Chain A
């Protein structure tokens, strides 16, 4: 079969054609060794990837890998990456097609793939793809030079890779243009826009064959070099992140911290649960470390990093990766390789997890290290051990006397008319007050306001005569054994009562009851008070609400907002009494900035840098609002302690109650 248009392979470069095969074989060996090395370090210790939930996994791969949902979430970086991504995918397909034709179909069967129409399409597609990729790379350079984010690394590797890609792309165009110049075929004009545009600069060059040959070799060797070293550079994110980490993404929700099923057995045998060494992490966690692309979106949004604490989620991932590079699997991580304050700085706000385009779960690894440190009782802040000890002895993290709670319950009965739960009776809601609301004077008022609202709206709600800690602080500081104990105690406690829903005003309790208790066989229908209040408002069951004519702002608690997607209900509650006077802070909803009290930090402080609570309070004050509404007792304590007289920190239930009890302005 004869064609009018086809590719003359290896034109001008027949004598160095061998270079293709030598470099390709060498490159493939280097590349495969890198993949093999990576697979071995992920599966070090014998754990193998499992492919359960195939449907969900394929879906995740398409959504986050192929379609890059989380990359596109940032407009500039999203477009920048998309251009490079699409550009190189098309170029890769084109190059593979051409190689297939040259070395397979043509040699073996005498068949050409790229002829006539298909060839013209091929030519045009590659022309466009190259331009897209070049624009993307120039955008990347522009970002690095003119508006780099605070924590974006900008070292030689980062820039060199961009530069090499740029050289590969431009040499590709030069080769294209020279062949265009050589053929001087008019019919190709529309299909080779770059070649045609540049051809005039190349037609008069002397010894064009030599130039072509040299550039061809450079283009070839650089391309093979980049592929060969892909598993050793940040470009490995394509495989470890884009393909594998999206496909093998956690199939549970990120806010479901995982139990250690055999914890009793581990302790029995004298072991320490959690991750003390690299080899204690799961294969998936080690895949996380290789998936990191160093975009720094985690660290740029990390309250610990931004407040001057030593934690940078990205650097932690990269430190762990470097330890894999060095093959240090069996050495204790803290304090030799990782400073203890790094691990204890985390407020578990989840900003890093939310931001990460590669679906890395930084907090999971941090909690695993905490579990180990706490189990050993070494490299743990004294106050953290105190929390753990208080839980053991008093059943609450502060070490408060449970008798005080009994007294407060009586006060609630007298003032709000709420019932104390009794076995055998049936309730719509059991209100789990939680430790802070039970004991802290700043939070007790939330319970009073909430119960006044609920009792008056006719709900059948009861408080428990006794409560233990829900276990959230235990889990976040890594005291998994204590957590398990508390879950079992609360399972037994709640089992004594009959109720439809468990009502909480603490997002930490909300998260732990909803997502972490089911692993221990405790299934509860959990409602946060913002959800219940919003429902009562929409049904018209809350009466006598007056409106306030003053600006307020709202702080999204991490465990209600980012981790649990409850953004609207608290705002509906606030808007009910302030209308359009709700001013948003710069960082709100998914971007919300932690109050500083998560991850056990309500009970201890890493005294380095600024206080996170101070930064957040300043942000609230800068809106000019008179009140800072919260929906979490932790947030209330943290922010109130910084607010002074500058802004009033108030829970949404208190806001509603206040609007009823006094004539609003």
Chain B
């Protein structure tokens, strides 16, 4: 069974830059692999190890400009390849930039359909820059597949996938027939970090970039205005809790959290 895994080249939230008025300088923030997508790749590689097949990584460049970012998205996909994906396909086109989640879903589903048949489509629960968590559902809708989100455990058994969903208060176990779309949480596994050497070696694996016309898409209507994103500065209280032992420290911390209204009793 071949597995598609969706990987986003997100804005690196650790490298946010803003001008003196707090406007975020989108173009000067580098792209990085979205955190939970690494879990998705690792999970796909794990399932491949059990069932065989290929793991194909897909992405769409959502932050422009395309000429500057083309190399960055390739680096992100090389990371997915270094983690064990077998090939990578991306769409890089100024016509969809900056892309919102609906355009991205449209583009990705076209790209996936064009590339092959996949028994399972995995994605991170949300991207680290936008965190709308809508994409897996939108993709499922467009492809006509069932979807399960927030998976912390996946078992593929006899043409179906059993998913343990993490719904904060409860765990919910659902079973979907394949093909299906599943989004995974950070708890599903502990993805290893790729080394530069592994990334270098991943250059031997196929990587292909398309324009939207190459995947048979017209220029979509842009919906999301991106020119007004501002930095919100959160001031931290910087309290250091000290105590004789762990229990005492924990007690004091809990008291403080209740006092601040973070935790309700």
Contacts and interface: CB of A to CB of B under 8 A. Distances in A.
B54 interface: no
B199 to A, nearest CB: 8
B95 to A, nearest CB: 29
A377 B198 contact: yes
Nearest to B17: A403
Contact of B195 (A377, A394, A401): A377
Nearest to B28: A403
Contacts of A270: 201, 204
Interface string B219-263: 000000000000000000000000000000000000000000000
B196 interface: yes
A392 B192 CA distance: 15
Given A267-B201, A270-B204, A481-B200, A394 B15 contact: yes
A578 to B, nearest CB: 32
B85 to A, nearest CB: 15
Given A270-B204, A481-B200, A388 B193 contact: yes
Contacts of B198: 377
Nearest to B204: A270
Given A394-B15, A403-B16, A374 B193 contact: no
Contact of A375 (B16, B17, B192, B195): B195
A485 interface: yes
A222 B51 CA distance: 66
A388 B14 contact: no
A403 to B, nearest CB: 5
A7 to B, nearest CB: 68
A9 interface: no
B32 interface: yes
A90 to B, nearest CB: 55
B170 interface: no
Categorize the interface residue count of chain B: 10 to 19
B175 interface: no
B196 A485 contact: yes
Interface string B9-41: 000101111000000000000101000000000
Given A267-B200, A270-B201, A481-B200, A377 B15 contact: no
Given A270-B201, A270-B204, A481 B14 contact: no
B195 A386 contact: no
Interface string A399-413: 101110000000000
Contact of B194 (A382, A389, A481, A485): A389
B130 interface: no
B197 interface: yes
Interface string B186-227: 000000111111111100100000000000000000000000
A494 interface: no
Contact of B192 (A377, A394, A403): A377
Nearest to A482: B196
B192 A385 contact: yes
Most chain A CB neighbours (cut-off 10 Å) among B12, B16, B17, B193? B193
A659 interface: no
A399 B32 CA distance: 13
A482 B194 CA distance: 12
A402 B29 CA distance: 11
A479 interface: yes
Interface in A351-400: 374-375, 377, 382, 385-386, 388-389, 392-394, 399
A498 interface: no
A445 interface: no
A272 interface: yes
Contacts of A382: 192-193
A388 B82 CA distance: 14
A273 B197 CA distance: 9
A interface, by DSSP: helix, strand, loop or mixed?
Answer: helix
Given A267-B200, A270-B201, A377-B198, A399 B193 contact: no
Contacts of B196: 388, 392, 479, 481-482, 485
B193 A386 contact: yes
A481 B197 contact: yes
A264 B44 CA distance: 30
B197 A375 contact: yes
Contacts of A485: 196
A267 B197 contact: yes
A464 B194 CA distance: 30
Interface in A28-66: none
Contacts of A403: 15-17
Nearest to A474: B196
Nearest to B18: A403
Contacts of A389: 193-195
A250 B32 CA distance: 43
A389 to B, nearest CB: 4
A305 to B, nearest CB: 28
Contacts of B14: 394, 399, 401
A442 to B, nearest CB: 15
B17 A479 contact: no
B195 A374 contact: yes
A377 B204 CA distance: 18
Contacts of A375: 195, 197
Interface string A476-516: 00010110010000000000000000000000000000000
A403 B199 CA distance: 26
A439 to B, nearest CB: 12
Given A393-B32, A401-B15, A403-B17, A388 B204 contact: no
A517 to B, nearest CB: 19
B14, B32, B199: which has the most chain A beta carbons within 10 Å? B14
Contact of B197 (A374, A394, A399): A374
Contacts of B12: 393
A394 B16 CA distance: 12
A394 B200 CA distance: 17
Contacts of B192: 377, 382, 385
A272 B197 CA distance: 8
B49 to A, nearest CB: 15
Interface string A250-290: 00000000000000000100101100000000000000000
Contacts of A393: 12, 30, 32
B15 to A, nearest CB: 5
A403 B12 CA distance: 12
Contact of B15 (A272, A385, A402): A402
Given A267-B200, A270-B201, A393-B32, A479 B15 contact: no
Nearest to A371: B197
B22 to A, nearest CB: 13
Given A270-B204, A385-B192, A393-B32, A401 B197 contact: no
A489 B102 CA distance: 39
A479 B195 contact: yes
Nearest to B25: A403
A603 to B, nearest CB: 13
A385 B190 CA distance: 13
Nearest to B33: A393
- Best-buried of A272, A377, A386 by chain B (most CB within 10 Å): A377
A27 to B, nearest CB: 50
A382 B14 CA distance: 19
Contacts of A394: 14-15
14 contacts: A267-B200, A270-B201, A272-B197, A273-B197, A375-B197, A377-B197, A385-B193, A394-B14, A394-B15, A401-B14, A401-B15, A403-B16, A481-B200, A482-B196
Q: Which 6 A-B pairs have the closest CB atoms?
A: A385-B193, A389-B193, A375-B197, A482-B196, A481-B196, A403-B17
Given A375-B197, A403-B15, A481-B197, 6 more contacts: A377-B192, A389-B195, A394-B14, A394-B15, A481-B196, A482-B196
Interface of A: 267, 270, 272-273, 374-375, 377, 382, 385-386, 388-389, 392-394, 399, 401-403, 479, 481-482, 485
